[in-house]
Each structure stands twice: as C-alpha cells, then as structure tokens.
Amino acid sequence: MTISKILFQQYSDCIDKKEVGHLCMEMSENNLNYNRIAKALAYIQANFKRQPSLEEIAAHVHLSPFHFQRLFQEWAGTTPKKFLQYISLQYAKQILQDSKSTEIATFETGLSSTSRLHELFVHIEAMTPAEYKNGGASLEINYSIQSSLFGEVCVASTSKGICHVSFIDRDENALKTIQSLFPNAQIIYSEQALHQEIEDFINNTSKINSPIHLHLKGTSFQLKVWEALLKIPQGKLKTYGQIAHEIGNPKSSRAVGTAIGSNPIAYLIPCHRVIQTSGLFGGYMWGPIRKTAIIGWEHATINSITDEII
C-alpha cells in the first residue's frame, strides 16, 4: 500500500485532501532526491580510482551537471568533491585517530563533554520481562511514515516512548517489520507529535529540546551497547573494539557488532558512526550506501558550522 493510500484511508474524514496530496508530494520529492544522491554515491564508490568527473556522475543520475551540482549542495551543504573527502578511507582514519578534537556547538550548553549532549536528551527504558517475552501483547503501538534526507522512515511508539525507527524502501514493509518484532501488539497507523519531532531531528531542522524516551526490547548486553552508541557525537566515529572497551568487555567486539546490527532505532541511536578499525565503513542494516550518505552528510554539516565560526 502506498503512503498516499494510507494517508487517505486514515485521514480522509478529517484532513483536506489537498493537504494530504501536498504532504505526499513533499515526501516523494525528498525520497527522489535521496535516491539520486545514493545512486551518485554508489557510482563514485565503484569508480573512485579513476576519479569520475562531475559531468560523468551527473549523467549517471540523468541530470545536467548544473542541476546535479545544485541538488547535491542543497542536500549535503557542500560540493560532490568535498563530500568525497568526507567519505574517504583516509579521512575516516584521521577521525578515528583524532581523539582529542573538540566538537563545536555544545560549548553553550556548559557540558564538560560533548559526548554527553545526545546522551542527556535520549533515554533508554527497557521493556518489562513480560512485554519482552509475550511479543508485546499488552502494548498499543502507533506508527507512521515520515520523510527524511536519507529516504522514508518508519517511526513507531508506545505510551512510554519510541520503540522503532527504521529506513524503508517500501512503505508496506514498515508494518510487517513492526509485526515481526511485536507479533501480539495492537498496531495502529497514527502519526504522533513525537513522530514529527523525530523527523525534524533527522532532517536537522530542529534540535531535541526535551528528553526523548526510547521504549526498547533488548537483552541487557544489547541495551548496554546501544547506550554506548548514544555517547558518540555527530562528526565522530568509533570502532567496534572501542565500543567493546567502553562497555567494559574488550574481547566482545564480535558480540558488539551483532548488538549494533540489531539496533532498532535508526539514526537516533547512531550505529552508523561505528566503523571498522581499518577505516572502512562496513555494513549497515539499512544499506551501506545509506550509511555512507549519513556519515558524509554529518561531516559536511560539522565542517560547515566550523567554517561559519572561523
């Protein structure tokens, strides 16, 4: 079922159809732009050794060089050439080694450590043993499809907080995924104010001004790993081994990788900021190209802030 059909079915009695149509067009445009950028990034990665020209990359995504350059700068806030630097192996290695660098934009908060900013605003609450074991039989879950810079996002929540965030390629897969996680829960398509807040945060159109609670189903080890991920600030990268050390189990890199691969909250719990020791980005539940896009976009954002301050 398409997004527009879901929206019209759920809201046709209370929302003007023109408003719904406008929303669907906006979501489709965002998704189209991301798909073009993702296709360009995939092409660059496959052909980086011969450094393809702007004209060649633009032709691959069926745009003129002028329109591709403009679209890329609107999306990433920087040029394709500069963006390529941010997703290069050498740059990733530099970030991993630069453990003493200081992030900007958090000085005003008065926090002694920038890594605590995100941690303070996002709190994990584990589901009860009963909720965990009975497939969410006592839970009512509301979900909706939101638009983001990195494709469409399914956001789901209970009365206690966000329980699921995932990038989706087909909106009908969203419900199937939630049902597989919570087979006995009552699942309803209903956009909540918190869902819109998550969309705004992913799109960098607003910051988290009040604590966001995550109501998660996971083992104690998984929860510990996910909490460690919350401490990685935007613009920083860590390895699986570093996360293992931080949770006090330095020999658990493989188990850490498995827990990260099970992360149920895309972007907000930033598993995309964990890469291999070699500097290679590695896998990602929602696709390696999307991981590359997010990492590059975050570094472009951080560097644009630095340029403005300097």
User: What's CA 309's distance to the chain center, in Å?
Assistant: 26
CATH topology of domain 128-217: Double Stranded RNA Binding Domain (3.30.160)
Which of 89-103, 137-151, 294-308 comes out lowest in average pLDDT?
89-103
Round to whole Å and give the CA distance between 220 and 255.
13
Q: Is 70 exceeded by the pLDDT of residue 78?
A: yes
Handedness of CA 111, 112, 115, 119 (dihedral sign): negative
Round to whole Å and give the CA distance between 242 and 237.
10
Which residues does the annotation mark as catalytic?
A: 271
Q: What crossing angle do the helices spanning 253-261 and 220-229 adopt, rounded to 10°?
A: 80
Task: Identify the residue whose tokens are 């958090």.
Answer: 106
Q: Is 60 exceeded by the pLDDT of residue 19?
A: no
Task: Identify the residue whose tokens are 């092409």.
Answer: 43
* 146 within 8 A of 153, measured Cβ to Cβ: yes
Residues 6+ apart with CB under 8 A from 124: 214, 216, 223, 226, 227, 230
What residue spans define the domains of the chain?
Answer: 3-86, 99-109+219-310, 128-217
pLDDT at residue number 26: 52
CATH 1.10.10.10 matches 99-109+219-310: yes
pLDDT at residue number 101: 45
Give pLDDT tens digits for 132-173. 788 889 899 999 999 999 999 999 999 999 999 999 987 667
Q: Is 50 exceeded by the pLDDT of residue 44?
A: yes
More confident residue, 73 or 211: 73
pTM of the model: 0.82
